[in-house]
Structure 1
Amino acid sequence: MRSNGDIDVAQLATLLTVSVETVRRDLAALEGQGLVRRSYGKVSAVESGAFETSLAARELINPQEKIFIADAIVEHLGTAQTIFLDEGVQMLFVAERLPLEYPLTVVTSSLPIATLLAGRVNTQVIMLGGRVRGNTLGVVDAWTVELLGRLNIDLAIIGANGVSIESGMTTPDPSVAAIKSAAIRRATRAVFVGAHHKFGRRTFVTFAQLNEFEVVLTGRELGASAARRFSDAGAPIRLV
């Protein structure tokens, strides 16, 4: 599960050469320990302070929903000329959809995003320096936070590994949480983007509260009742 992202329960039974009933019992036990999450016949590993999924695994999880969310973010750019783009697969989709027709300065902690945007004629890329995390190719640590502290950003576009009513926006790595918090502090506006499977989850470190964002964009897969609960808790939810 940690290597491949979402896995079908029947696929697990075949892989492990056991019955579907055995797999379901084991998954129930693992879910009770907070190690996995089951949804609509599939199961995925829960991220924690000790485990975070790789970019390759994240690319396989709800890709169409992430594309719809990225399409919707364009409406919220407004007059922003300087944009911070967080690390992650969702942010790569956002980067692909940034407008080409007028000049933008994009600040990012993501090597893949910097590479994607560097060749654009109207886009200036500021790549933050620091230690590169192998599983996400994002940069972190003191140098990164220090440089962010000198910048004035119009709009920060932020993701998370977990979004919960009790703990707000969370991520497994404290060094990543520091980058996200710094970007939100230096930005005039902040927007959250994340697929529905992030909601109702909590990982290791809280970096922001639900009401710190101008809008919280996610897919309609979240459902109206869950969206209302998050909205009542202070999240300006928009389903796309």
Structure 2
Amino acid sequence: MTTDERSRPAQRQSEIAEHVLAHGSVSAADLAEMFHVSLMTIHRDLDELERQGVVRKFRGGVSSQPSSVFESNVAYRMRAAHQEKQALARHARDLVEPGMAIMLDDSTTTLELARLLTDITPLTVVTNFLETIKLLTTNPGIRLISLGGEYYPTHDSFLGVPCIEAIESVRVDVLFASTSAVSGEYAYHQEQEIVLVKRAMMRSAQRSVLMVDHTKLRRVALHRHAHVTDFDRIITDDQATEAELADLAEHGARYEVAS
């Protein structure tokens, strides 16, 4: 087998991943036709992509979208509701002042906030998200504290007991965080490892701000993260419906709408 032949599956899998991330979900039959290979070959490719945490297989197809029990890959989350996340970040930026110590979780929503922090200095930023760490390393006015732990490729972040212990060793002015779902009285997330880290972050912050775009409202996920009143404020975007905002208000949430 030549080098070119060995590289074909990797190249095809990369192109499959790109297609699924762009479209959310697709059938295996459509992929087989698109890439001119057998259904068996496509299933082998999808098995490998699922092993990497890029996609999730279901009967007859594959998806990169989140469900109540599966969080989506970070590459998919980078694309989802991007404009809404930018609006949330602009709104949250007004809560950050020079001299503060803030904590950012491993969400793509708070990554958008990190992009706006470059001129708010001096500033201390604590995070477990590798994308945020890489983004802020070049800013001399930001003191960056990275939270170690076990690296999770699906989230591109550090989690686990070492991460929680690192969080417990610091105290910050404000935590900016996001989550997968908010419904009724509670915020939810699909993965218990993420929930445990987010709870530790809330305990280590004087104030906690939850940033959730409208696609996450009135949705549920497997694990209960926190009561909506545990957050000092919840920021959502102006695409949230009156019913969704009323649901937040009914349960005592202090919310603001970013435009």
Q: Normalized against structure 1, the TM-score is what?
A: 0.80
Task: Report Cα offsets for 1:145-175 as digits up to 9, x if no partner.
Answer: 1111111111000110111114x11111111
Aligned equivalents of 1:101 and 1:94: distance in 2? 12
Give the 3 Å change call, closer, same or farther, for CA 101–94 of structure 1 in structure 2: closer
Note if 1:203 corresponds to 2:211. no
Give the 3 Å change call, closer, same or farther, for CA 6–222 of structure 1 in structure 2: farther
Aligned equivalents of 2:181 and 2:120: distance in 1? 34
Note if 1:212 corresponds to 2:230. yes
Asked if 2 retains the 8 angstrom alpha-carbon contact of 1:114 and 1:127, the reply is yes
After the TM superposition, which segments of 4 or more aligned residues of structure 1 sit over 4 Å from their partners?
A: 5-8
Give the 3 Å change call, closer, same or farther, for CA 66–6 of structure 1 in structure 2: farther
Aligned equivalents of 1:183 and 1:93: distance in 2? 19
Structure 2 counterpart of 1:149: 168
Cα displacement (A) at 1:82? 0.7
Asked if 2 retains the 8 angstrom alpha-carbon contact of 1:158 and 1:190, the reply is yes
Cα displacement (A) at 1:59? 2.1
Give the 3 Å change call, closer, same or farther, for CA 6–159 of structure 1 in structure 2: farther
Aligned equivalents of 1:57 and 1:5: distance in 2? 8
Q: Report which of the two structures shows the higher radius of gyration computed on alpha carbons.
A: 2
**Number of aligned residues:** 211
- Letter of the structure 1 residue corresponding to residue 221 of structure 2: T
The unaligned stretches of length 5 or more in structure 1 are 17-35, 37-42
* Secondary structure of 2:198 counterpart: helix
Asked if 2 retains the 8 angstrom alpha-carbon contact of 1:5 and 1:53, the reply is no
Asked if 1 retains the 8 angstrom alpha-carbon contact of 2:118 and 2:139, the reply is no
Note if 1:235 corresponds to 2:253. yes
Give the 3 Å change call, closer, same or farther, for CA 6–66 of structure 1 in structure 2: farther
- Residue in structure 2 matching 1:91, options 85, 91, 110: 110
Cα displacement (A) at 1:71? 0.6
Structure 2 counterpart of 1:129: 148
Asked if 2 retains the 8 angstrom alpha-carbon contact of 1:80 and 1:155, the reply is no
- Residue in structure 2 matching 1:109, options 91, 107, 128: 128
Aligned equivalents of 1:211 and 1:152: distance in 2? 21
- 5 Å-filtered alignment, 1:8-157, equals 15=30, 45-49=65-69, 51-78=70-97, 81-157=100-176
Cα displacement (A) at 1:60? 2.1
Asked if 2 retains the 8 angstrom alpha-carbon contact of 1:210 and 1:235, the reply is yes
- Letter of the structure 1 residue corresponding to residue 135 of structure 2: L
- 5 Å-filtered alignment, 1:177-196, equals 177-196=195-214
Structure 1 counterpart of 2:183: 164
- Letter of the structure 2 residue corresponding to residue 58 of structure 1: R
Cα displacement (A) at 1:219? 0.8
Give the 3 Å change call, closer, same or farther, for CA 236–5 of structure 1 in structure 2: farther
* Percent of pairs with identical residues: 24
